[in-house]
Structure 1
Amino acid sequence: MKFRGWLLDVDYVVENGKPIIRMWCVDDSGKSAVIFDDSFEPYFYVVPYGDVPISVLENMSEEVGGETVRPVRVDIVDRKNFGVPIKCYRVFTKLPRDVPYLRELALKFGDVREADILFGVRYIIDRRLIPMGGIEAEGEPVSVDYAGLGMLCHNPKAFAREDEPPLKVMAFDCEMWNPRGMPDAAEDPIIIISIKTNREEKVLTATDEDDKGLIKEFIRYIRDYDPDVIVGYNQDSFDWPYINERAKKHKIKLSVCRDGSTPMFGRGGLQKKVKLVGRLNIDLFQAAQRDMDGVKVKTLENVADYLGVMNKEKRTYIPGGEIYRYWADSKRRDILIRYSKDDVESTYGIAGELLPLQFEFARMAHEPADNVSRMGRGRQVEAYLAYVAYEYGELIPSKGGEVETYVGGFVFPPVKGIHRNVAALDFSAMYPSIMIAYNISPDTVCKDCKDDCYPPAPEVGHCFKKAPEGFFTRILRSLVAHRAALKKKLAQTDRKDKSYRMLDIRQKTIKILTNAFYGYTGWAQAKWYRRECAEATSAWGRYFIKRASEIAQSMGMEVLYGDTDSLFVKLKDGGDLHAATGEFIRKVKEELPLDMDVDNFYRVIFFTEAKKRYAGLTSKGEIVVRGLEVRRGDWCELAKELQSQVIRIILEEEDPEKAVKFVKDTISEVREGKVQLDKLVIHKTLTKGFESYESVQAHVKAAERARELELSAAVGSKISYVIVKGPGITLGDRAYPVDMFIKFENGKLYAKDKAYELDVDYYIDKQIIPTALRILGYFGYTEDELKGRGVQGTLAQFF
């Protein structure tokens, strides 16, 4: 019996006291399959302290639950420790669960390595498999009732595939009964579960009595449709735990896993994580938090709007606190259903945009896609390193280092004001290129710089051996070459070709991981932590950007701003900027071991006095904004939209007076109560417990009030609040969670038992005016002018 298809996930079960690997797959037609391997054994390594006899490890034992846990066997193997050949012990155990117990015993005799690798991931590494990649297997058929095909195989083979797997994807979204604001799973039923799949959209609704039938129908739908991937938006922290609690209340087994088991609930840092056996459960909110820099406040609505999935202006809007009222009102229930449909359509659309990147991360890091979707960038790098380390015979280090700070990139302060005809230039892959050029790797650090080392890094003095090529250097060189080949192929591919997007995602994935290597070496939690690598890389980076600036100035250019790996330049005496830039890049490449490219040409650009804060109009007519308040999350939407419009008017129309009029008109609309409430809400993350804040900030006070009202206010969540009029010394005294209000009309906010008045002066003085002046202040306008008094400026005086 033969199988050819796609590998989705790997886990294991224990049968008759023996671990059995399960590879969850789909074939080329989309039919589910599970491939078993009962020949793989758990193990870990021990690097002994001195001359430790093998018998010492062989005789380790621990009593656990009435059973004796001991090694199955121990052998001696050749490995490398930071590039140095060594001999170490490999300790095999009967079950994966035995590893933690024997690891603790082995710590007395040596440095324990790789005991924390999950058994399924260990199998992927050792068998050289590729999650979301091709898999071939040959073996005996096995009867299973939870997959279309079962097979026993001891030697599955991975192979690269250029096509995409025929996956069944299911998105879901829940609405809950919430008469007290934030629903409570112990009391409040689920009223709607909206579902969207490759084939249909479906809305499941509760009866007026309870949600028992709804939950059963949801389970039945998953069992019938049998999705390979289930996505939601924040479902790990909210929807799944809520459904689980409601199922427990009704004594329903939440058998939504492929083998009929129930979800496994865990936690990674502040984020919860839910594992569904045989299916990939991917929380798109967690993926968006890591991979989408363009959206600060990553609500479902904002992300869907940013990605072009669903325009915010076109979606059905219902205030969160009003959901139960719409459900109870038969005339408005259809609006609530439409609202729920918009949510699940948005979720499914976001999945279409974000899943390909998660799948490519899975292929690169060699971990299942649901795992990598939750990983920080450092952990993704580490997963990739672990896979490559096995190939090189390199042991994974046991732990990272201590938290130490080091100097980062160099910054040329911006020449504030407005400039015309400016070129923005970037060093391509600066840090990976530096690491390759000077063989910077944890295993090549020289304690004393000698003739066989590269020159010491400027300022810090660290140097690295010229040979052999370092572990990191070999990896980076391979990744850079692979990306270059992909980019070359991409340039020859028509954008309309369906392969274009996948090639682009693959080269971007490599770029993300290679750029993360430098930061990884200086991350204290990294297993391959080596501060010298991070310090030397950034030191060379500072040296090269300073030298590039000197070259630019010698060619009659003015450096307007520079940061880490980028420079903004213009010709002092005019001339052909394109030609001058080309010559500058040629000279830089001749002298420095780096590539430089043009990022953009700007017709007009203005810099503030702070780094990473500028806005410009490119030669192609696109507006680029970096670091201004318009991109920050602790300003209300109205302030951000206003600043965007001010920037557009200044750059495109070069009419500051028109921009001022727009600000004045907006102020009038706020005073007259004509602005929608959602434009005035401020969102800020509660990063720690209430007691940990030295001063009571506005969002903290709003969170405390939310908790008193049994609304959501968990650490790590976004607190959404508004500022109202009233007594109090601090702003927090007037900060209230927006979910407590059921209506907003003519500047009045109505809660269940009281009416509040919006503090329009706060929004004008502390939100609108500051964001507008961040731009208009450079043209001589003042707060008085924006409020109808003062002297206006002119655009010409700022060039």
Structure 2
Amino acid sequence: MKFHGWLLDVDYVVENDRPVIRMWCIDDEGRSAVLFDRTFEPYFYVVPYGDVPINTLENIADEVGGEIIRPVRVDVVDRKNFGVPVKAYRLFTRLPRDVPYLREIAKRYGDVREADILFGVRYIIDKRLIPMGGIEAEGEPVEVDYVDIALNCEQPKGMPRDGEPPVKIMAFDCEMFNPRGMPNAKEDPIVLISICTGNQVRILEASNQNDKQIIKDFIAFIDEYDPDIIVGYNQDSFDWPYIIERAKRHKIKLNVSRDGSTPLHGRGGLQKKVKLIGRLNVDLYQVAARDVDGVKIKTLDNIADYVGVMKKDERVNLSGVEIYQYWLDPERRKDLIAYSRDDVVSTYGLAKELLPLQYEFTRMIHEPLDNVSKMGRGRQVEAYLAYIAYEHGELIPSRAGEVETYAGGFVFEPVKGLHKNVAALDFSAMYPSIMIAYNISPDTVCEAGDQDCSEPAPEVGYRFKKQPEGFFTTILKNLVTHRSTLKKRLAQLDRKSNEYRMLDLRQKSIKILTNAFYGYTGWAQAKWYRRECAEATSAWGRYFIKKANDIAIEMGLQVLYGDTDSLFVEMEDNKRLMDVVRQYIQRVKAELPLDMDIDNVYRIIFFTESKKRYAGLTDRGEIVVRGLEVRRGDWCEIAKELQSEVIRIILEEENPDKAAKFVKDTVQKVKSGKVPLDALVIHKTLTKSVTRYESAQAHVKAAERAMERDMAAEIGNKISYVIVKGTGTLSDRAYPVDMFHKFKDSKLYAKDKTYEIDADYYVDKQLIPTALRILGYFGYTEDALKGRSVQGTLESFF
């Protein structure tokens, strides 16, 4: 029997004390399939310390639970270590679980390599498979009851395929009963589970406060619909753990995986991870947190609004602390159901917008989609390198030990204030271009006495071999060439066509990964970490941006601001600006090994005294904001909205007096208690456990109080808190917003006490500072914005 389809995931099971690879697939009609390979063996490498006989490693053993574990066999293979040929021993084991035990013993005799690669990923690498890409196989069919098609095979073949696989996507979202603010899975039931499959939206309701039946209905729906991908928004950290705990309390087997198993629940880095066997579980919050740059507070409604899935003013908006009240009130319950429906429809819409790029990352990186969607950019680069290393016979290095910091890009301090007619110029792929030009790669670093090396990098003096081409250099050149080819094809296509859309996603994924290589070489967790590469690349970058500045001055351009790989320029005769800029770009390209493009042209732009903080109005009428409070997560929503409106008025209307009046009006609204609670909430992420913070920061104190009330406050959680009136430090007055069940007239009602919002804090420490960041340049002071009149004129600031 032949199979032709799409590969989704790879895992394994143990049968008869041997591992059996399972390739989870769908065919072109969307039917589920699993391909079994019973021939693949787990293994790892050992690069011996000196002359270690092969039988030494053949005879290593460990006793685990009364069982003796030893290698199945050992062979000798030719590999490369940072480009240098080496002999390595390859140790095969009986089961993947044997690898960690034998690895520890093998470390006595050599440098152990690739013992931490997951068995399913090892299979993908060795068999050259492409998750979310095509797969062909031939073998004997077998009977299983959890997929439509199953067969045994030994030689599956991966192949590139255009388009998207015909996957079935299911989105879900839960609402919990929360009379104490933040719901507790041990006590508070799930009252609604909303499900969306595109054409269908289904709302499961609890019977009063008993959620046993809706959990069963949820399981039954998954079994009947049989989705290939399940998505949610922050479901790995909230919805799934909550459902798992509620199912446990009701003694329900949560058999939602394709093979009938229950979810695997663990932690990876700052994020929790949930694995569903045979299905791809994708947390869209983790995708948005990494890949959506335009929104700082990445709530579901903010992201859905930003990408155009559902506008905030077109959906039902409720305060999370009031959910239980809406549930208990028969008249208002319909609003809660509508709110839940909007949540799940938004989630499904986000999946349709965000997943196609994730498919391309998956195909490039060669790990399953659910893994890739949760990886940071450094891990993505490393997974890609691991796949390519196999082609080159390169051993994956052990993880770096102690690392050192190094200088980053050069910054020309901004010329603060307002400027008109400014061109923003961008060095396209600066760091990849430098690495290619100087053959900068972990395996090309010149040691003392090496011949035929490049000229020394400025400031740091590192040199790199001219030949042979480095491992990274080869990869980067291939990526750049491939992207260039795609862009030429794009130029010939209709921008509205599906082919254009797919190729555009592909070139974007290549661009993102290519630009991440430089940062990866200096990343502390990188297996291919090499400080010399990171330092030399950034040193050349600093050198070239200074040279570009010198050329700009020669040509009559003034550099208003420069940072790492970009320059903002103006000139006195602004009518000639664009002609001179085009000549400048041609000269830069001719004299430096870099490419440069016009990123934006600003009618008017405002620089603060700090780097990376500016706002401008482009010639297309778009407002671009970088680094100001409106873009940052540790400011409340009303402060960010205030600054955003001040920026708009200054840039579009050029009227600082009107902007100042808006600030005064907003101050009065806060003081009179006429703003919703959501506008006053501050969000900050816990990056370590609360006990490891040296100082009592506000969000840490709020997290401690959340934990006292059995609310979630784990590493990676975003702590949402407000500041109330009272004595003591700011931290003493920080309380998690989820502990309150009602807010009215500045009063916050908790289970056992009533608090009052500290309006003075919000005015003095949130509103006024964000306003003065802009209006201070026009002569306005804190007193003026609180009511005393001070004139500001725009003309004097050009």
- Stretch of structure 1 that moved more, 348-357 or 143-152: 348-357
Q: Report the alpha carbon displacement of residue 450 of structure 1 after superposing the two structures with TM.
A: 5.3
Q: Which residue of 2 aligns with 1:788?
A: 787
Tell me, in whole angstroms, the C-alpha distance in 2 between the residues paired with 1:655 and 1:456: 52
Tell me, in whole angstroms, the C-alpha distance in 1 between the residues paired with 2:72 and 2:788: 85
Amino acid at match of 1:750: Y
User: Aligned ranges for residues 308-327 of structure 1 at < 5 Å?
Assistant: 308-327=308-327
User: Aligned ranges for residues 559-708 of structure 1 at < 5 Å?
Assistant: 559-708=559-708
Amino acid at match of 2:766: Q
Q: Which residue of 2 aligns with 1:773?
A: 772
Contact 2:180 2:751 in 1 (8 A): no
Tell me, in whole angstroms, the C-alpha distance in 2 between the residues paired with 1:375 and 1:333: 38
Contact 1:400 1:525 in 2 (8 A): yes
Q: Which residue of 1 aligns with 2:15?
A: 15
Q: Which runs of 5+ in 2 are unaligned?
A: none
Contact 2:319 2:678 in 1 (8 A): no
Q: Which residue of 1 aligns with 2:228?
A: 228
Contact 1:449 1:463 in 2 (8 A): no
Q: Which residue of 1 aligns with 2:136?
A: 136
Q: Report the alpha carbon displacement of residue 152 of structure 1 after superposing the two structures with TM.
A: 1.2
Tell me, in whole angstroms, the C-alpha distance in 2 between the residues paired with 1:295 and 1:312: 14
Q: Report the alpha carbon displacement of residue 745 of structure 1 after superposing the two structures with TM.
A: 2.4
Amino acid at match of 2:256: V
SS at match of 1:167: coil
Instruction: Provide, for residues 681-710 of structure 1, a one-character-per-residue CA deviation record: whole Å limited to 9, x for no partner.
Output: 111222233333333222222222223333
Contact 1:415 1:560 in 2 (8 A): yes
Instruction: Provide, for residues 742-785 of structure 1, a one-character-per-residue CA deviation record: whole Å limited to 9, x for no partner.
Output: 33223333334443332222222211111111101111111122
Instruction: Provide, for residues 162-181 of structure 1, a one-character-per-residue CA deviation record: whole Å limited to 9, x for no partner.
Output: 11101100011111222222
Amino acid at match of 1:397: P
Tell me, in whole angstroms, the C-alpha distance in 2 between the residues paired with 1:401 and 1:97: 25
Amino acid at match of 1:769: I
Tell me, in whole angstroms, the C-alpha distance in 1 between the residues paired with 2:209 and 2:426: 62
Q: Report the alpha carbon displacement of residue 654 of structure 1 after superposing the two structures with TM.
A: 0.9
Instruction: Provide, for residues 234-271 of structure 1, a one-character-per-residue CA deviation record: whole Å limited to 9, x for no partner.
Output: 11112111111221222211111101111111111221
Contact 1:181 1:709 in 2 (8 A): no
- Stretch of structure 1 that moved more, 145-154 or 294-303: 294-303
Q: Report the alpha carbon displacement of residue 202 of structure 1 after superposing the two structures with TM.
A: 0.4
Contact 2:321 2:742 in 1 (8 A): no
Tell me, in whole angstroms, the C-alpha distance in 2 between the residues paired with 1:788 and 1:47: 74
Tell me, in whole angstroms, the C-alpha distance in 2 between the residues paired with 1:704 and 1:94: 47
User: Aligned ranges for residues 67-146 of structure 1 at < 5 Å?
Assistant: 67-146=67-146
Q: Which residue of 2 aligns with 1:365?
A: 365
User: Aligned ranges for residues 433-512 of structure 1 at < 5 Å?
Assistant: 433-448=433-448, 451-512=451-512
Amino acid at match of 2:797: F
Tell me, in whole angstroms, the C-alpha distance in 2 between the residues paired with 1:713 and 1:468: 52
Contact 1:785 1:792 in 2 (8 A): no
Amino acid at match of 1:77: V
Contact 2:179 2:741 in 1 (8 A): no
Tell me, in whole angstroms, the C-alpha distance in 2 between the residues paired with 1:721 and 1:524: 32
SS at match of 2:431: helix
Contact 1:172 1:195 in 2 (8 A): yes
Are residues 105 and 757 of structure 1, via their aligned partners in 2, closer, same or farther at CA, if it must alter by over 3 Å? closer
Contact 1:10 1:368 in 2 (8 A): yes
Extract structure 1 runs of 4+ deviating beyond 4 A: none
Alignment RMSD: 1.4
Instruction: Provide, for residues 115-136 of structure 1, a one-character-per-residue CA deviation record: whole Å limited to 9, x for no partner.
Output: 1111110110000000000111
Amino acid at match of 1:530: R
- Stretch of structure 1 that moved more, 704-713 or 400-409: 704-713
SS at match of 1:78: strand
SS at match of 1:767: helix
Q: Report the alpha carbon displacement of residue 227 of structure 1 after superposing the two structures with TM.
A: 0.3
1:188 pairs with 2:188: yes
- Stretch of structure 1 that moved more, 672-681 or 18-27: 672-681
1:205 pairs with 2:205: yes
Q: Report the alpha carbon displacement of residue 451 of structure 1 after superposing the two structures with TM.
A: 4.9
Q: Which residue of 2 aligns with 1:276?
A: 276
- Stretch of structure 1 that moved more, 432-441 or 248-257: 248-257
Contact 2:180 2:750 in 1 (8 A): no
Tell me, in whole angstroms, the C-alpha distance in 2 between the residues paired with 1:450 and 1:11: 45
Are residues 712 and 58 of structure 1, via their aligned partners in 2, closer, same or farther at CA, if it must alter by over 3 Å? closer
Contact 2:172 2:196 in 1 (8 A): yes
Q: Report the alpha carbon displacement of residue 324 of structure 1 after superposing the two structures with TM.
A: 2.0
Q: Which residue of 2 aligns with 1:532?
A: 532
% identical aligned pairs:
74
1:734 pairs with 2:733: yes
- Stretch of structure 1 that moved more, 345-354 or 545-554: 345-354
Tell me, in whole angstroms, the C-alpha distance in 2 between the residues paired with 1:93 and 1:693: 43
Contact 2:180 2:741 in 1 (8 A): no
Q: Which residue of 2 aligns with 1:329?
A: 329
- Stretch of structure 1 that moved more, 426-435 or 679-688: 679-688
Q: Which residue of 1 aligns with 2:380?
A: 380
Aligned pair count reads 798
- Stretch of structure 1 that moved more, 318-327 or 549-558: 318-327
Amino acid at match of 2:215: I
Contact 2:180 2:740 in 1 (8 A): no
Instruction: Provide, for residues 472-514 of structure 1, a one-character-per-residue CA deviation record: whole Å limited to 9, x for no partner.
Output: 0000000011111112222222221122222222111111111
Contact 1:615 1:647 in 2 (8 A): yes
Amino acid at match of 1:104: E
SS at match of 1:464: coil
SS at match of 1:239: helix
SS at match of 1:36: strand
Contact 1:43 1:92 in 2 (8 A): yes
Instruction: Provide, for residues 552-583 of structure 1, a one-character-per-residue CA deviation record: whole Å limited to 9, x for no partner.
Output: 00011111110001111112344411110111
Instruction: Provide, for residues 66-112 of structure 1, a one-character-per-residue CA deviation record: whole Å limited to 9, x for no partner.
Output: 32211111111111111011111111111111111111121111111
Contact 1:170 1:230 in 2 (8 A): yes
Q: Report the alpha carbon displacement of residue 434 of structure 1 after superposing the two structures with TM.
A: 0.3
Amino acid at match of 1:139: G
SS at match of 2:183: coil
Amino acid at match of 2:308: G
- Stretch of structure 1 that moved more, 379-388 or 322-331: 322-331
Contact 1:131 1:369 in 2 (8 A): yes
Contact 1:401 1:530 in 2 (8 A): no
Tell me, in whole angstroms, the C-alpha distance in 1 between the residues paired with 2:741 and 2:547: 60
1:292 pairs with 2:279: no
Tell me, in whole angstroms, the C-alpha distance in 2 between the residues paired with 1:107 and 1:207: 58
1:718 pairs with 2:718: yes
Amino acid at match of 2:125: I
Amino acid at match of 1:489: R
Q: Which residue of 1 aligns with 2:148?
A: 148
Contact 2:181 2:741 in 1 (8 A): no
Tell me, in whole angstroms, the C-alpha distance in 1 between the residues paired with 2:712 and 2:147: 39
Q: Report the alpha carbon displacement of residue 7 of structure 1 after superposing the two structures with TM.
A: 0.3
- What TM-score, normalized to structure 2? 0.98
1:427 pairs with 2:427: yes
Contact 2:8 2:25 in 1 (8 A): yes
Instruction: Provide, for residues 700-722 of structure 1, a one-character-per-residue CA deviation record: whole Å limited to 9, x for no partner.
Output: 22222223333333332122222
Amino acid at match of 1:38: R
Tell me, in whole angstroms, the C-alpha distance in 2 between the residues paired with 1:129 and 1:405: 37
Amino acid at match of 2:127: R
Tell me, in whole angstroms, the C-alpha distance in 1 between the residues paired with 2:601 and 2:461: 37
SS at match of 1:223: helix
- Stretch of structure 1 that moved more, 416-425 or 537-546: 416-425
- What TM-score, normalized to structure 1? 0.98
Contact 2:223 2:256 in 1 (8 A): yes
Instruction: Provide, for residues 167-217 of structure 1, a one-character-per-residue CA deviation record: whole Å limited to 9, x for no partner.
Output: 100011111222222222222222211100133110111212622211111
Q: Which residue of 1 aligns with 2:48?
A: 48
Are residues 248 and 750 of structure 1, via their aligned partners in 2, closer, same or farther at CA, if it must alter by over 3 Å? closer
Are residues 187 and 756 of structure 1, via their aligned partners in 2, closer, same or farther at CA, if it must alter by over 3 Å? closer
- Stretch of structure 1 that moved more, 180-189 or 617-626: 180-189
Q: Report the alpha carbon displacement of residue 335 of structure 1 after superposing the two structures with TM.
A: 1.7
Tell me, in whole angstroms, the C-alpha distance in 2 between the residues paired with 1:629 and 1:717: 21
Q: Which residue of 2 aligns with 1:797?
A: 796
SS at match of 1:673: coil
